[in-house]
Structure 1
Amino acid sequence: MTWNDALPLLVLSSSLLPGFIIFNLPEERRGMRTALNLAGAGLKLVFIAFMLWGVARGERYEFRYAIVPGLELVLRADALAMLFVTLSAALWFLTTLYAIGYLEGSPHRSRFFGFFSLCVTATVGVAMAGNLFSFFFFYELLTLSTYPLVVHRGKASTMKAGNIYLAYTLAGGAVLLTGVVWLYGLLGRVEFVPGGSVSVLGPAYADQLRLVFGLLVAGVGVKAALVPLHGWLPKAMVAPAPVSALLHAVAVVKAGAFGIVRIVYEVYGADFTHGLGLSAPLAVLAGITILWGSLRALFQDDLKRRLAYSTVSQVSYIVLGVALVGPIGTIGGLVHLVHQGIMKITLFFCAGNYAETLGIHKVSEMNGAGRRMPLTTLAFSVGALGMMSAPFTAGYVSKHYLTEGAAVAGAPWAEWVLLASSVLNAAYFLPILYRAWFKRQEDAWPEESIPRRGWLETNGLLLAPPLVSAVAVLAAGSLSEHPWSPLSWAKLIAERQYVSVER
């Protein structure tokens, strides 16, 4: 086995092995648990840096293991995989720091961080899957590893929400499996390749391929929270803040959206998908989800539920960009895979800070929060402005390319959807910012548990991650033309694997 063969496996193992060790650590071994978490997260970033540099130069990284003849577990680090892997690893490191501070003094930390590591392992596996079978394997491992995180607190309401989450995701997995088995029966093997692999079947199989496409998209659409498959997501907000951050920014919903990208571009191929008449219905479904999520967010007083419905809307930007089937829309959808992650994790980190420090869980309790927690509120403001597509933020770049992609694709209705979404985003975020910065606190905080010490408004491990991710939101927007920016990498993916685009 060469270094290039082993590197994808090492990336996977850097969270898998620490996770197994952490499961067996006594609760009091806090230092060892923290060291393993940070060492695994740091090592993963080092391995990924090697692969990023290599992939940019055209190197090939692939690991294959034959389970039975004709069925292989494949890990491949192509440009698309690296977009998702890098996002997952970078945000995992921040979330690890945040979770260490958030769960300080809580019970069952070894269990939490063990499943936390398995969750990231599964997410990285989804990103690097080189064929449809490998994708399905890690996709279902993600379901099983995130369920214990959702129900970590063990309360009756938490268990109920967790069971709803499990019912939705296992049902989606069953539908996905049906599509996978059907397609393997037709093709024998289904590799992820630029331009897709199913077009070799020809027109005689068109009706079957339409049905299979529907099964595959419905299966991953549960995790992507496409309407009407989104019902689990707002209910899962009973999970601890680090878990909510993972669900929305790194793992579950992003894995679903990433699955749709793989299906459209590397299983069916963009042209073949369009030729079967499948891209337009997918685009319409994405547009409906964008508007529905934004409208529902307007009426949520619970802060995390408002952010959850915002995720329902924002993740479908990725699906819309893919379904527009054009170079500019492709770039917009791919770059939003990263941009939505860094914006949304900022918002959930901040929501967790308000809850842990002041006991704030509702928008109506936010009056004066900016004066008590100015740094957290500054970070929240940056994330919210990004979601509203303010200039010099990551969200502006995504929305610009998506809107232009809709125009080039001859889909003016999609331009109106994006415009309406921006207005709705402002309608549900601006009242939060107004309350936090401009309204005075009238009553005592619901439960102030972390006193202010000078400029340190909360636990330092809770404060640092949202400040770092907020800076990333601004950097991704203002430095979007840098050669190593998410936008430049999205253009590289489009140029190499899907469409021809001038850089």
Structure 2
Amino acid sequence: MNTTSLIDVAILTPLIAIVGVLAFSRKPNMREAVSLIAGVILLLVNLKLYSSFNQGEALSRHWLEILPGLNLSFRVDALGLLFGLVASLLWPVTTLYAIGYMRGHKEDNQTRFYVCFAIAIAAVMAIAYAENLFTLFVFYEVLSLCTYPLVTHAGTEKAKQGGRVYLGILMGTSIAFFLPAIIVTWLVAGSLDFQQGGIFPEQTPIALLSLLLVLFVFGVAKAAVMPFHRWLPAAMVAPTPVSALLHAVAVVKAGVFSLIKILVFIFGLDTLQEIPATDYLLYLAGAGVVLASLVALRQDNLKARLAYSTISQLGYITLGTLLAVESGVMGSAMHIATHALGKITLFFCAGAILVASHKSEISSMAGLGRSMPITMAAFFIASLSIIGLPPTAGTWSKWWLLTATLETDHLILMAVLILSSLLNIAYLLPIPLRAFFPGKQAVAGPITIHEAPPAALLTICATASACVLLFFFPNPLFELVSQIFTEGTP
């Protein structure tokens, strides 16, 4: 097989898996085996693309010319590989977790869940390897539409209301901000191809660049920049595997990935430094980091607390890129991977707690470490990674983000990152600590709650272990993000 055609395989593998999922809709074991096998194949394909990229191969694929200069086409670059590898690694992991969760929780419409999940992963692969802004936008919208049935999976009025908010904000911002920004960019630059240093001509008015920057930052609402963030907590009505998909594998990561691509390869770092709006958006992102952390601190529902935590963590990625220096972009790119591992573990733990104990409120989880020690230990490890403390992966991305604030003399933003980490401690660590050391809240009597189903527990251990391993072996991640600015890419 031609190496270039592996791009097609990466995008089409999840779609081909849908045929098997539908064919075995009445045979759950076979249906889920198809999803797992497809996930493993996709991971191997992305690893092969990674290997070929490291050997210096130029990997691109043209699908269709819509208009002259407006193509559906794909190209492998360092940032896309990072996103593709993270998503393809976590697809089979999340599928395995979903088997334990969906069966343990006796969810309906499980076939529809696996079908929509597969479409979402196909859209993510297309976004990761999009060669131009038009291709990215097309599959960005596909991702919004195919995840709507996942958000409304329960079919309750609350789920439908959450779905309306979810789709309304994402589609509304795309139509009002994202699409007009793309059209104006095409008219001004004459191209939508991602290029090193950006694509805008030198004579482009600064006022127009400022307007476009604001439109793009707010138009890519999947990055959850305040005030267009409400879709994310609204979507928490979905089953926990969907929450994991939204927060770690697909949707929010597609948002921040798209923002990085636009800021680095449409505007360019040198241009960003000259745009007055950059500073305003920087401090807006910083304010969002702190405000979302403060809101998270007040949430008693575990998934709601984790949702606002995600909004804060996404602000790190936006902030790091808007600093417009290579160290900031590297920190943001690394945070895509480290946050994915930490946050998916936290959501897996939240789902395990719900399935095993039927508890969703943090105030009722004191002493839970007695009956679910593995789950709560994993929660503790993942919390350390989100905080950015050794020996966990989040240490490295936060290190680079702090370095970037020092490099650019943004000491206030450095203080914001430090304050946010302290708030992370305040809203995450008390959960496992009270679970293991409940004090007077301890419940006496025999243990009636046990760990989650084995499939779910296995994935929790795997992702928590990855949080630790990536601390001790960060070089592959560091070397990949270092190539974002290598000549000849994106």
Structure 1 residues 222-255: Cα deviation after superposition (integer angstroms, max 9, x where no partner): 1111111111111211100000001011211111
Aligned counterparts of 2:434 and 2:161: Cα–Cα separation in 1: 32
> Secondary structure at 1:203's aligned position in 2?
coil
Aligned counterparts of 1:156 and 1:62: Cα–Cα separation in 2: 45
The answer to which of 205-214 and 246-255 deviates more is 205-214
Aligned match of 2:452: 458
Aligned match of 1:141: 142
Aligned match of 1:186: 188
> Secondary structure at 2:244's aligned position in 1?
helix
Q: CA deviation at 1:329?
A: 1.8
Aligned match of 1:90: 89
> Secondary structure at 1:67's aligned position in 2?
strand
> Secondary structure at 2:16's aligned position in 1?
helix
> Secondary structure at 2:429's aligned position in 1?
helix
Give the alignment of 1:18-97 within 5 angstroms: 18-22=17-21, 24-25=22-23, 27-70=25-68, 71-97=70-96
TM-aligned CA distance change 1:31 to 1:498, over 3 Å: closer
> 1:286, 1:316 within 8 Å by CA — same for their partners in 2?
yes
Aligned match of 2:129: 128
TM-score w.r.t. length of structure 1: 0.92
Q: CA deviation at 1:129?
A: 0.8
Aligned counterparts of 2:295 and 2:327: Cα–Cα separation in 1: 29
Aligned counterparts of 1:204 and 1:60: Cα–Cα separation in 2: 31
> Secondary structure at 2:23's aligned position in 1?
coil
Give the alignment of 1:424-443 within 5 angstroms: 424-439=423-438, 442=442
Aligned counterparts of 2:394 and 2:204: Cα–Cα separation in 1: 43
Aligned counterparts of 1:60 and 1:498: Cα–Cα separation in 2: 9
AA of the residue aligned to 1:282: L
Aligned counterparts of 2:75 and 2:198: Cα–Cα separation in 1: 16
Q: CA deviation at 1:45?
A: 0.8
Aligned counterparts of 1:163 and 1:430: Cα–Cα separation in 2: 33
Structure 1 residues 117-137: Cα deviation after superposition (integer angstroms, max 9, x where no partner): 001111111111110100000
Aligned match of 1:209: 209
Aligned counterparts of 2:478 and 2:4: Cα–Cα separation in 1: 28
Give the alignment of 1:263-342 within 5 angstroms: 263-342=262-341
Aligned match of 1:113: 114
Q: CA deviation at 1:330?
A: 2.0
Instruction: State percent identity of aligned pairs.
Output: 35
Give the alignment of 1:343-358 within 5 angstroms: 343-358=342-357
> 1:122, 1:141 within 8 Å by CA — same for their partners in 2?
yes
> 1:80, 1:493 within 8 Å by CA — same for their partners in 2?
yes
TM-score w.r.t. length of structure 2: 0.95
Aligned counterparts of 1:65 and 1:78: Cα–Cα separation in 2: 18
Q: CA deviation at 1:390?
A: 1.3
TM-aligned CA distance change 1:168 to 1:266, over 3 Å: same
> Secondary structure at 1:307's aligned position in 2?
helix
Aligned counterparts of 1:101 and 1:162: Cα–Cα separation in 2: 24
> 1:130, 1:192 within 8 Å by CA — same for their partners in 2?
yes
Aligned counterparts of 2:488 and 2:277: Cα–Cα separation in 1: 20
Aligned counterparts of 2:488 and 2:281: Cα–Cα separation in 1: 21
TM-aligned CA distance change 1:380 to 1:342, over 3 Å: same
Aligned match of 2:482: 491
Q: CA deviation at 1:33?
A: 1.0
Aligned counterparts of 1:497 and 1:371: Cα–Cα separation in 2: 54
The alignment yields a C-alpha RMSD, in angstroms, of: 1.9
The 4+ residue runs of structure 1 with deviation greater than 6 A are none
Aligned counterparts of 2:208 and 2:287: Cα–Cα separation in 1: 26
Q: Which runs of 5+ in 1 are unaligned?
A: none
Q: Which runs of 5+ in 2 are unaligned?
A: none
> 1:9, 1:75 within 8 Å by CA — same for their partners in 2?
no
The answer to which of 144-153 and 169-178 deviates more is 169-178
Give the alignment of 1:188-267 within 5 angstroms: 188-198=190-200, 200=201, 202-220=202-220, 222-267=221-266
> Secondary structure at 1:75's aligned position in 2?
strand
Q: CA deviation at 1:443?
A: 5.4
Give the alignment of 1:342-491 within 5 angstroms: 342-439=341-438, 442=442, 452=450, 457-480=451-474, 482=475, 484=476, 486-491=477-482
> Secondary structure at 2:341's aligned position in 1?
helix
Aligned counterparts of 1:158 and 1:137: Cα–Cα separation in 2: 26
> 2:346, 2:382 within 8 Å by CA — same for their partners in 1?
yes
Aligned counterparts of 1:232 and 1:122: Cα–Cα separation in 2: 19
> 1:4, 1:62 within 8 Å by CA — same for their partners in 2?
no
Q: CA deviation at 1:479?
A: 1.9
> 1:196, 1:265 within 8 Å by CA — same for their partners in 2?
yes
Q: CA deviation at 1:368?
A: 0.9
AA of the residue aligned to 1:51: L
Aligned counterparts of 1:249 and 1:193: Cα–Cα separation in 2: 27
AA of the residue aligned to 1:147: Y
Aligned counterparts of 1:396 and 1:402: Cα–Cα separation in 2: 10
> 2:260, 2:329 within 8 Å by CA — same for their partners in 1?
no
> 2:367, 2:443 within 8 Å by CA — same for their partners in 1?
no
> Secondary structure at 2:403's aligned position in 1?
helix
> 1:151, 1:239 within 8 Å by CA — same for their partners in 2?
yes
Equivalenced residue count is: 484
The answer to which of 428-437 and 356-365 deviates more is 428-437
> 2:116, 2:150 within 8 Å by CA — same for their partners in 1?
yes
Aligned counterparts of 2:52 and 2:89: Cα–Cα separation in 1: 18
Aligned match of 2:169: 168
Aligned counterparts of 2:444 and 2:188: Cα–Cα separation in 1: 65
Aligned counterparts of 1:327 and 1:73: Cα–Cα separation in 2: 29
> 2:197, 2:268 within 8 Å by CA — same for their partners in 1?
yes
Q: CA deviation at 1:217?
A: 1.6
> 1:227, 1:289 within 8 Å by CA — same for their partners in 2?
yes
